[in-house]
A and B are shown apart, each in its own frame.
Chain A
Amino acid sequence: MLSALMLMYLLQIPTVTMLSIQLSRHDEYAELCGFSRRTPDRTTFSKFITRAEPKTVEGVFKELRRQALKMGLYGNGKVDAAVDSTFIHAYSRRKRKAGVSDRGARVGKVERTTYALGWRIHTIATRRGFH
């Protein structure tokens, strides 16, 4: 199920409904994600996303980061790191009569003079050189 969700991001499939359709149409995608006979319905993906805790999905990132560290992709010895944040738009609209549907999102700066409802991802990245 997690590999199917990763495939959804890699192939830029916008929704789980589309993902479910793609999996049923393309046997190679289904096989790649470990589905042998029937592919999951969109509701199964929705239930999985609702029931799964962030820790489960973040565990995939942690495992891949562990592997990348082991392979030395983050560099060896002393490295440079950079910190920054980026804005992502919430799946919700401002100024609706019923209020916003994403209650955790807040209005923040997108660019210098633009404001929108959304989230901010604060990231630290390191780099290594290879020649």
Chain B
Amino acid sequence: MENPHHSNQERFPLAYIVRSANVNDKVPAPKLPKYAINHLKKAKTAIETLIADAQYYWEDFFNLLEELKIKPVIPAPPQIKQPRIRLKVKHGFIVEGDPELVKLYHKRMMVEHVFKPGKKRLNLDNLRWRGAAKVRMHVALCYSVILAVAITAHKIGRPELAHSIKAFQ
């Protein structure tokens, strides 16, 4: 059962891209930080660190993040002998490396916490439409509901319910 009071951190989807399932994560990934920076700029906010899992570890992405002045927190895959940052995820999700980076890497769950209510409470994984355009609409509606719930929770003076979709169902 979802506990509406479990959260003391707010995390919301900022931008998304929908692609066919066979498209590698490396293809849409560079666009996402750029979109995010553009949107956050309007609110005078900037991204300090970008956390992602090992599949986002590749040279060009690191160079792009350096260009955008974002600190990457991306663990190296096991086959990389000399990683760019001291961070590795071993078998059983054991994270090793620089203690500061390890602490930051654990914040990666914020994006998983966006997917979870979507799939559990908003039928994100129960697609009833076909075609890329309609799938984009489906995701937009799901994420809109997540944001609408958060905005409503704040407007009624109950910020602790910002992540509790169940409270509004």
- Residues of A in contact with B (beta carbons under 8 Å apart): 5-6, 8-12, 14-16, 49, 52-54, 57-58, 60-61, 64-92, 101-109, 116-131
Residue in A closest to B48 when the chains form the complex, CB atoms: A78
Task: Tell me which of A69, A73, A83, A91 contacts B129 (CB under 8 A).
Answer: A91
Residues on B with beta carbons closer than 8 Å to the beta carbon of A70? 43
- The residue in chain B whose Cβ has the minimal distance to the Cβ of A105 is B20
| Interface contact B122-A130, CB-CB below 8 Å | no
Bound together, the chains give a CA A108 to CA B147 distance in angstroms of: 28
Q: Is B39 on the interface with A (CB-CB < 8 A)?
A: yes
**Closest 8 A-B residue pairs measured CB to CB?**
A108-B21, A127-B11, A78-B48, A106-B22, A106-B20, A64-B147, A82-B111, A69-B43
Q: A71-B154, A122-B25 are in contact. Are A127 and B9 (CB under 8 A)?
A: yes
* Chain B residues close to A by CB (< 8 Å): 8-23, 25, 28-29, 32-33, 35-36, 39-40, 42-53, 56, 70, 104, 107-115, 119, 121-137, 139-145, 147-151, 154, 159, 162, 165, 168-169
Bound form: Cα–Cα A88–B119 in Å: 9
Specify the chain B residue showing the minimal Cβ separation from A117: B21
> Are the C-beta atoms of A76 and B29 separated by less than 8 Å?
no
Q: How far is the CA of A126 from the CA of B35 in the complex (A)?
A: 12
**Residues from chain B with Cβ under 8 Å of A91 in the complex:** 127-130
Pick 13 A–B contacts, CB within 8 A, sort by A: A6-B148, A9-B122, A54-B140, A69-B43, A74-B12, A84-B111, A86-B115, A103-B131, A105-B21, A106-B23, A109-B21, A121-B139, A127-B11
